Structure 1
Amino acid sequence: MRGIPRRMPRGIGADIAVFLGAAAFSVLSAGGTGAGTGIAEQAVSAAACAALFLRRRWPVQLAATLLVTGWFAHLVGGPTAVAVFTVAAHRPLRSTAWIAALAFAPLPVFLARGPDPDLPETGSALTFFAIMAGAIGWGLYVRSRRQLLASHAERGRREAREEIAREMHDVLAHRLTLLSVHAGALEFHPGAPPAEIERAAGVIRDAAHQALEDLRGIIGVLREPGGTGGTTGGGAGVRPQPTLADVPRLVAEAREAGMRIALETDCAAGEGGAATGRTAYRIVQEGLTNARKHAPGTEVTVRLSGGPARGLTVEVSNPVPDAAPAAPRAAGIPGAGQGLTGLTERAALAGGRLEHGPVRGGFRVRAWLPWAA
């Protein structure tokens, strides 16, 4: 809009501030030496301050030029410090090392001459070397801090991607195995009674619908500000994350799909904390999914036990299937073990542990989770 001044870009404002600071330093340096300065040296100092506007484009060249100039004109100490700091903060360590070597190249000669502490030139030289050391050190600190913040941001993005991957796997694998099993049953028994075909088609329809709803729900949770937790906090149409109280519903849903499941529990549903309950739900869900894929027709045992003093134990086990399973396997569904890997990470993030593997002629997934107050 006309009449409203545009906001000054941040880079130009910083360059102006650096220019004014370097100019003020040069003026104070001229007054602190106790000796007059010539017009030529003042002009060189002014040109050095103005050259700082080029420090972003040619920082190494500018720093080297000002360092060489500083051997003959002491008033360029301020602009030189700014240029050296820019190299240390924004350029590779190799460039910083070359600039540091150039800055301290006169030091051995200075010390070999045996400087007189009473001479003002000695004080000026020591001040110059101290300023160069401070500029390099400060620039390296700024550089390391920026790299640390960047690494933290990258780690945060990586953890967010891993969380999304875990949620997507847990949500979709359970539903897709239902679809695969019942679609395979229709293919395996094309002449099944109409009632069975209708029932399988209904399960397929419901599983597809639930998969879409679960996918929509988890995407909504992940899009909430700071929301990978238990509930969304009010997003319209976004469902809360499952808890320990939802395990019986999960078991009932799997039974309706044809699985044989024995549920044993001696802990109060809904207790133990939202994060612990959600992790326990995902463990049971993944255990049922794996049993449906790899041990169809067998009876799966789900055990939940625990309390405030001993934590929550979640166990899902099944025997080795017979040679001729009662139901077709969930062929075509990937089974690379990523689900169990994700569950192990989930349990660790919740402060617990998870183990899985063959046991007594079957397969067991067993986890211990802390019991939150």
Structure 2
Amino acid sequence: MSVAVVPEHPWLLPGALTRSPTVVRRTARDWVVDSLCFLLALAWALFSFGDAVSPDPELALNAGPGWLVGVDLVLGVWVSAALWLRRRWPLALAVATAPLALFSSSAGIAMLVILFTVLLHRPLPTGAALVAWHLATTPVYLALRPDPELPFWPAVAWTVLIVGVAVAWALFVRARRQLVLSLRERADRAEAEQQLRVAQARQLERTRIAREMHDVLAHRISLLSLHAGALEFRPDAPPEEVARAAGVIRASAHAALQDLREVIGVLRAEAGGEAIPERPQPTLGDVPALVAESRAAGVRVGVVDEVDQAAALPAAVGRSAYRIVQEGLTNARKHAPGTRVTVRLAGGPGDGLAVEIRNPLPVGEVVGSAIPGTGTGLVGVAERVSLAGGRLAHGRDAAGDFQLAAWLPWPAS
């Protein structure tokens, strides 16, 4: 059998002010408060009994009938002891002791504590009904046990004042605990939102890394495949050409492994560890090296550079232009080997940067094994251009060539 356990402060749980817990675990503070309430209620019960048996006729007037003195003492002690159960069953205890408000003096303090508990932990309509009962029974109590010092109406006013103070105190404590609950919920919600933002940032970073890995490794592996295909179909090539192709294959494989190692290192650092600084990202100034690499692999590449004030180009725009050129050269090696590729760069501050990669479509079927691809290269380029606020177009133009053209915004400085 499982038993539900409520935390030390059950009022800090959502809905705790409107539901009854199964098991209450008292804290040290709760023990101190409950002990003081019990001792205070018990002391009042004994004090009331002492007044009732006093030889002073005025005090004895408040005792009522003789048989009520002993009964009232027993009931007062019983209700005082029942205060230990008020945290678990406050409403049931209030209903059970409600009739005592008609005649009991010894249980006065104990019933005030019970009223305070109901107002604190139960819905306000329930507490209001209990308060109304105590106020309605006041005239009956005073008629049965009149106050020896105060007339009837001042005694009623004094009773209403005492009950009002208890109600105001209970409502103040209730509002304060609800405020604590609200602030804690806000803090928990803010912490959850912060964790969500961190998770989203990590996911975006992983997406960026995956995009960069696709762009870089597709370029490297296409070079490997191109040279390996040349060695496969030219087994009788001169030793110098074989050595040069093997050197390019080795260099491309080493660079691909290096790029892959850096990506894996970043992912491992995100999983938990020290962050590994990234190497500088490519910019527009690295395009000549990219073209030279493709030329070394046997691709005929022509470059038309009409960029004005290239040094003032923002790094993010230059990086996007580099990736577009890289993807265009990779696609040309994959789908149109042996054709001439033309790379055109143009633009300036305020006019934007135009990037165009053009190559004739191959005639007939491509000889040899096609370089495998994921088919997502242009999708990644389109996403990159869209995020940069630019435009992208690709496909066959009027001359029958394949064209990859992009325009990227370049704000005037």
**Unaligned 5+ runs, structure 2:** 1-8, 13-26, 44-76, 95-109, 136-159, 271-275
2:200 to 155, 159, 179: 155
**Pair 1:204–1:214, CA change in 2 (3 A):** same
User: Is 1:278–2:337 an aligned residue pair?
Assistant: no
Q: What is the match of residue 62 of structure 2?
A: none
Shift of 1:192: 3.5
Q: Is the 8 A contact 2:390 2:409 kept in 1?
A: no
Q: What is the match of residue 186 of structure 2?
A: 141
One-letter identity of the residue aligned with 1:357: H
Question: Aligned ranges for residues 149-188 of structure 1 at < 5 Å?
Answer: 149-188=194-233
**Pair 1:144–1:217, CA change in 2 (3 A):** closer
Q: What is the match of residue 65 of structure 2?
A: none
| Alpha-carbon separation, structure 2, partners of 1:42 and 1:245 | 87
| Alpha-carbon separation, structure 1, partners of 2:114 and 2:196 | 36
Q: Is the 8 A contact 1:243 1:278 kept in 2?
A: yes
User: Is 1:359–2:396 an aligned residue pair?
Assistant: yes
Q: Is the 8 A contact 1:265 1:305 kept in 2?
A: yes
1:342 to 358, 365, 380: 380
Note the alpha carbon deviations across 1:275-304, whole angstroms, 9 max, x for none: 221221111111111111122122222111
| Alpha-carbon separation, structure 2, partners of 1:202 and 1:274 | 32
Q: What is the match of residue 248 of structure 1?
A: 288
Q: Is the 8 A contact 2:392 2:406 kept in 1?
A: yes
**Pair 1:42–1:287, CA change in 2 (3 A):** farther
Shift of 1:355: 2.1
Shift of 1:155: 0.5
Q: What is the match of residue 294 of structure 1?
A: 335
**Unaligned 5+ runs, structure 1:** 1-14, 49-64, 81-101, 226-231
TM-score (norm 2): 0.59
Shift of 1:143: 2.6
Note the alpha carbon deviations across 1:67-121, whole angstroms, 9 max, x for none: 64597788899xx9xxxxxxxxxxxxxxxxxxxxx98643222345675785223
What is the percentage of aligned positions where both structures have the same residue?
45
| Alpha-carbon separation, structure 2, partners of 1:109 and 1:355 | 68
Shift of 1:66: 4.4
Q: Is the 8 A contact 2:304 2:345 kept in 1?
A: yes
Q: Is the 8 A contact 1:103 1:132 kept in 2?
A: no
| Alpha-carbon separation, structure 2, partners of 1:76 and 1:174 | 79
Q: Is the 8 A contact 1:181 1:329 kept in 2?
A: no
| Alpha-carbon separation, structure 2, partners of 1:365 and 1:104 | 70
**Pair 1:335–1:317, CA change in 2 (3 A):** farther
| Alpha-carbon separation, structure 2, partners of 1:245 and 1:343 | 19
2:302 to 258, 262, 267: 262
Q: What is the match of residue 4 of structure 1?
A: none
One-letter identity of the residue aligned with 1:242: P
Shift of 1:208: 1.7
Q: What is the match of residue 371 of structure 1?
A: 410
Instruction: Output the aligned Cα RMSD.
Output: 4.4
One-letter identity of the residue aligned with 1:314: V
Question: Aligned ranges for residues 187-336 of structure 1 at < 5 Å?
Answer: 187-215=232-260, 239-267=279-307, 268-325=309-366, 328=368, 330-331=370-371, 333-336=372-375
**Pair 1:245–1:75, CA change in 2 (3 A):** farther
Q: Is the 8 A contact 1:241 1:278 kept in 2?
A: yes
Q: Is the 8 A contact 1:186 1:200 kept in 2?
A: yes
For this pair of structures, how many residues does the alignment match? 300
Shift of 1:176: 0.6
Q: Is the 8 A contact 1:184 1:330 kept in 2?
A: no
**Pair 1:126–1:256, CA change in 2 (3 A):** same
Q: Which moved more, 1:250-259 or 1:267-276?
A: 267-276
Shift of 1:216: 5.0
Note the alpha carbon deviations across 1:110-134, whole angstroms, 9 max, x for none: 3456757852232134234423432
Q: Which moved more, 1:312-321 or 1:278-287?
A: 312-321
**Pair 1:365–1:153, CA change in 2 (3 A):** same
Q: What is the match of residue 124 of structure 2?
A: 107
SS at match of 2:312: coil
| Alpha-carbon separation, structure 2, partners of 1:209 and 1:365 | 29
TM-score (norm 1): 0.64
Shift of 1:152: 0.6
One-letter identity of the residue aligned with 2:291: V
One-letter identity of the residue aligned with 1:297: G
Note the alpha carbon deviations across 1:199-239, whole angstroms, 9 max, x for none: 322321222233234445666788999xxxxxx9xx7xx85
SS at match of 1:266: strand
Q: Which moved more, 1:67-76 or 1:203-212?
A: 67-76
| Alpha-carbon separation, structure 1, partners of 2:325 and 2:167 | 77
